[in-house]
Structure 1
Amino acid sequence: MADFETDYLIIGAGAVGMAFADTLLAEDPDCHITMVDKHAKPGGHWNDAYSFVALHQPSAFYGVNSRELGEDRIDDHGPNSGLYPLASGTEVSAYFEQVMNRHFLPSGRVRYFPLSEYKGGAEDGGHTFASVFSGDETQVKVRRKLVDATNYKTSVPATHKRKFSVADNVRITIPGKLPDLWMEGGDIPTTFVILGAGKTAMDTGVWLLEAGVHPDKIIWVRPRDSWLINRRYTQPGSDFFEDVVTSQIAQLDAARDAEDGHAMFAALEVDGHMLRIDPETKPEMFHYATISEGEIALLRQITNVVRQGRVQSIEPGKMLFAGGETAVPGGALYIDCTATAVDFHAYNALKPQFDGDTIILQALHVPLVTFSAALTAFLEVNFDDDATRNALGIPGPLTDTPNTYPVALLTNLMNRMAWAQNDKIRGWLATARLDPSGPTVARLVQEKSPKLAIMGKFQKAAMEAFPSLQRLAAAGKIEHDAA
């Protein structure tokens, strides 16, 4: 017999699960929600992230729809100068805790079970979760739907398992431990070796440089270089509106003229819409990382870059790779930044979000995961059948390379076209904080702003680019499916 009943059982109280629950509460005033999560606090992987982590994207469109995150001001110093601030990991964690404790729980319509693991369900609607510490099980009957908010399977340095061996007398740590090095007195390492090429590694490089480590004392193992989104073209609000749309037009124009994704990104680099750290190295990776030109300038100071693929093992005085080895000064500190933020292979087994009594949260506008989760909740409440909901929300893949990026871009564009033609969704987007463009466009329409003239250029660019984008996406999908 069930211990209690609920309308929606959400597995995962991270950013995605919280965004879905927030919109569900707003759109359906009668529903009851239960949330189950392994962490001791809401916020998911933000609880495990390194201490100096920050959002890649502006805080203005991250989190849950009903509550602002961050300050409405422009940074006036540091590598993000001239752009809207990025919430720190501490700020994000505190934000989600406040959403739970000051909004969800006081509503009387949410039950939250931290330090609990979902065990499974039965055909009669019964589901089981257990306490991580005691193992005691709780039975809950779900009247409507189970919501899987764990499909991204996010991994951070503190939780992932290394895929390389390390000798016992080699000094290795994770980024989150770096701020505590000052407590080691005279045992501060003289050489720092960054392992990994993703945004965590970039953040670590910036942190070391800003902490006073000389660039010559940093070795960076980069198996693949990455294309990076210029944060200047992702800013919210009317002041940046024309720059943002200009960048979107540039993507469409590049897709129209390019032979493949690599050529498309090379074209976008010309006017600074895409960035790379090393101008002499062709990037083979694209994971949607967003960065400022100030951060790029800092990271280019690190010139001792090892490009021999992924490290296989580390021994005193050397790193071993599949095709050779590299000498490293004695006493070096290795910093493991090799965690993959998202399990691309697991996530990209894409499926319809709505499937009877189950919802699997996926990205409807890649890579805006909290916006996508909020929109999914809106679709759940405001449309009557799964076929309609799924047609209005087609999941996009989290692509890995420049050639596969057009697959996601085409999915985003087609979803946006469908939303623009639906009165319900269009109305919701006009007030949705998590949508980077909807509220800004609505405000400019109300003001009859001349800035909206650029939207005509966007529509023209989209029509001209569509056939080529379909061609690039078809070729990219072959590569994507084979990965």
Structure 2
Amino acid sequence: MPASPLEADYLVMGTGATAMAFVDTLLSEDADATVLMVDRHHRPGGHWNDAYPFVRLHQPSEWYGVASRELGQGNRDATGINAGLYGLASGAQVLAYFDQVMQERFLPSGRVRWLPMSEVGTDADGVNHVSSLTSGTRKRVRVRKKVVNATHAQTAVPSTHKPKYTLGPGVNCVPLNRLPDISRPHAAYTVVGSGKTGMDAILWLLENGVAPARIRWVMPRDAWLWNRANFQPGLENFERSVGSNLGQLDAIAEAASLPDLFARLEATEQLLRIDPAVQPSTFRCAVVSQAELAQLRRIDDVVRLGHLRRIETTRIVLDQGTVPADPDTLYIDCSACAIVMPPALPVFEAGRINLFMVRTCAPLFSAALIAYVESHVTDPAEKNALCTVVPSPERPIDWLRMWAVTLANTARWRQHAGLQAWLMQCRLNAIAVFVRGVKPDDTARLALLKQMGAKAGAAGARLPALLASAKA
């Protein structure tokens, strides 16, 4: 006799950060919803399970995680390269946090069933099933409402992805995760990759006493970087944090061209770059502090000859040339792509929900907002209008494309009273965090907030011409 199928209103594929944020808000907004969560990892947290041991958030902990539970402690770092800014949770803290959310909120609710070390498949008749990666058991799943795909991001880390370049005999190349296992000093260290992991590798080497002259950085593309000081919680940072949003809107509204736009953003320290003499060719939502930037700029041996193709004992071969190398070099692979371009799908399909971004560089906030819309809006067209997908970033122009969709979505959210009320109490919403503690008689700060609408309108009016100039 076949085993009874599993049943739930929602089958959620993944227990990474976006899946956890979605389910957390769904439980709060839909008192009857039942959820089956399935993931290949043995604990919640998605790619955080595979990340390097010294990984930290690049943004303040105050608006990371799920809406119902604080991650940050409201403390600023007193020492180190984040000194003076609000704390950045470590990878271990993030994993412990998501485990607590699962064990102390989701499972005790009686409405969530969690199947770790398992994967979702689809039978020939279109019915979903769950297979255990340990026991091999397989059960069909009866989904009463929707399948939620929280795996589109496919966040990659070096420990789970082999390098795309080839390694010659005798080359010592390790993923970023292995850096703390170094057992002897090397004559030279070469970091391959210019994204978040590449920057973290450089900072780790410097923090652990490696002289800058012994470090080489293979940087296929320079990136525009967010300035962490511009989005800090706390009333003491209100003027700068809110002012940063206003400054970005002003830059869009007043820019004569795309080069002028990025010049304005850099002049006001909205965006930063590692080398002022090199024009960035990518934007991937990476965040740095000014102190981190100063450390990164200590590396003089930066190789900008495109992507790495092959490493040999005495040279490295790149798209645009060859560079000699010390035979006793430790190569640190940081080339895995953390942001994968998602498929061209809407958030809401028949019987499915795709967890994409609906605000610039804010995947967890987006997942929570999608859950709110799923719980309170019935018309599919209205749902997708409220949750128009913000494109994932790749090129600098995507900074502007993301703003275009974000502004349009924000305007639609303002027309929905319930959603607007939820936004102003959601701790994953940066604006809601900025205004915590602002009193009704604080006219100066309230005046700054009122400027948002007018400046957003001016920026929205200018956006089409700026975007069109990029295609000309």
Question: TM-score under structure 2 normalisation?
Answer: 0.96
Are the aligned partners of 2:392 and 2:398 in contact in 1 as well (CA < 8 Å)?
Answer: no
Q: Which residue of 2 aligns with 1:407?
A: 401
> 1:420 is matched by which residue type in structure 2?
R
Cα separation, 1, equivalents of 2:26 and 2:196 = 32
Q: Which residue of 1 aligns with 2:334?
A: 337
**Displacement of 1:433 after TM fit?**
0.8
Q: What's the secondary structure of 1:223's corresponding residue? A: coil
Does 2:17 correspond to 1:25? no
Cα separation, 1, equivalents of 2:259 and 2:391 = 18
Are the aligned partners of 1:230 and 1:272 in contact in 2 as well (CA < 8 Å)?
Answer: yes
Q: Which residue of 1 aligns with 2:282?
A: 285
Q: Which residue of 2 aligns with 1:180?
A: 181
Cα separation, 1, equivalents of 2:459 and 2:439 = 26
Does 2:309 correspond to 1:312? yes
Cα separation, 2, equivalents of 1:392 and 1:143 = 24
Between 268-277 and 250-259, report the one with greater CA deviation. 250-259
**Displacement of 1:385 after TM fit?**
1.9
List per-residue Cα deviations over 1:83-113 (Å, max 9, x = no partner): 1011011110111111111111111111101
> What fraction of aligned residue pairs are identical, expressed as a percent?
42
Q: Which residue of 2 aligns with 1:116?
A: 118
Q: Which residue of 1 aligns with 2:100?
A: 98
Question: TM-score under structure 1 normalisation?
Answer: 0.94
List per-residue Cα deviations over 1:252-289 (Å, max 9, x = no partner): 22222334444322211112221111111111111111
- Superposition pairs for residues 20-419 of structure 1, below 5 Å? 20-120=22-122, 126-181=127-182, 184=183, 187-344=184-341, 347=342, 349-419=343-413
> 1:101 is matched by which residue type in structure 2?
Q
Which one of the candidate residues 438, 441, 453 is aligned to 1:444? 438
Q: What's the secondary structure of 2:284's corresponding residue? A: coil
Q: What RMSD in Å do the two structures reach over aligned CA positions?
A: 1.7
Are the aligned partners of 1:410 and 1:473 in contact in 2 as well (CA < 8 Å)?
Answer: no
**What is the number of equivalent residue pairs in this alignment?**
470
> 2:150 is matched by which residue type in structure 1?
A
List per-residue Cα deviations over 1:45-102 (Å, max 9, x = no partner): 0000111111111110010011110221111111111110110111101111111111
Q: What's the secondary structure of 1:133's corresponding residue? A: coil
> 1:102 is matched by which residue type in structure 2?
E
Cα separation, 2, equivalents of 1:121 and 1:73 = 50
> 1:146 is matched by which residue type in structure 2?
V
Are the aligned partners of 2:235 and 2:436 in contact in 1 as well (CA < 8 Å)?
Answer: no
Q: What's the secondary structure of 1:236's corresponding residue? A: coil
**Displacement of 1:406 after TM fit?**
1.0
Cα separation, 2, equivalents of 1:439 and 1:265 = 27
List per-residue Cα deviations over 1:271-308 (Å, max 9, x = no partner): 22211111111111111111100000111111111111
Q: What's the secondary structure of 1:63's corresponding residue? A: coil
Are the aligned partners of 1:261 and 1:406 in contact in 2 as well (CA < 8 Å)?
Answer: no
List per-residue Cα deviations over 1:115-134 (Å, max 9, x = no partner): 1111126767x311211233
Query: Are residues 37 and 261 of structure 1, via their aligned partners in 2, closer, same or farther at CA, if it must alter by over 3 Å?
Result: farther
Are the aligned partners of 1:226 and 1:286 in contact in 2 as well (CA < 8 Å)?
Answer: yes
Are the aligned partners of 1:350 and 1:395 in contact in 2 as well (CA < 8 Å)?
Answer: no
Query: Are residues 235 and 35 of structure 1, via their aligned partners in 2, closer, same or farther at CA, if it must alter by over 3 Å?
Result: same
Cα separation, 2, equivalents of 1:437 and 1:17 = 22
Are the aligned partners of 1:262 and 1:402 in contact in 2 as well (CA < 8 Å)?
Answer: no
Q: Which residue of 2 aligns with 1:6?
A: 8
Are the aligned partners of 1:38 and 1:117 in contact in 2 as well (CA < 8 Å)?
Answer: yes
Query: Are residues 121 and 359 of structure 1, via their aligned partners in 2, closer, same or farther at CA, if it must alter by over 3 Å?
Result: farther
Q: What's the secondary structure of 2:33's corresponding residue? A: coil
Cα separation, 1, equivalents of 2:257 and 2:117 = 46
Are the aligned partners of 1:319 and 1:327 in contact in 2 as well (CA < 8 Å)?
Answer: yes
Query: Are residues 66 and 449 of structure 1, via their aligned partners in 2, closer, same or farther at CA, if it must alter by over 3 Å?
Result: farther
Q: What's the secondary structure of 1:286's corresponding residue? A: strand
**Displacement of 1:170 after TM fit?**
0.2
Between 358-367 and 269-278, report the one with greater CA deviation. 269-278
**Displacement of 1:340 after TM fit?**
0.4
**Displacement of 1:140 after TM fit?**
1.2
**Displacement of 1:463 after TM fit?**
2.5
> Which consecutive unaligned segments of at least 5 residues does structure 2 have?
none
Q: Which residue of 2 aligns with 1:458?
A: 452
**Displacement of 1:461 after TM fit?**
2.4
List per-residue Cα deviations over 1:333-390 (Å, max 9, x = no partner): 000000100212xx1x332211121001100112110110001000001111211111
> Which consecutive unaligned segments of at least 5 residues does structure 1 have?
none
- Superposition pairs for residues 466-481 of structure 1, below 5 Å? 466-474=460-468
Cα separation, 1, equivalents of 2:275 and 2:233 = 28
Are the aligned partners of 1:311 and 1:321 in contact in 2 as well (CA < 8 Å)?
Answer: yes
Cα separation, 1, equivalents of 2:38 and 2:425 = 29
**Displacement of 1:234 after TM fit?**
1.2
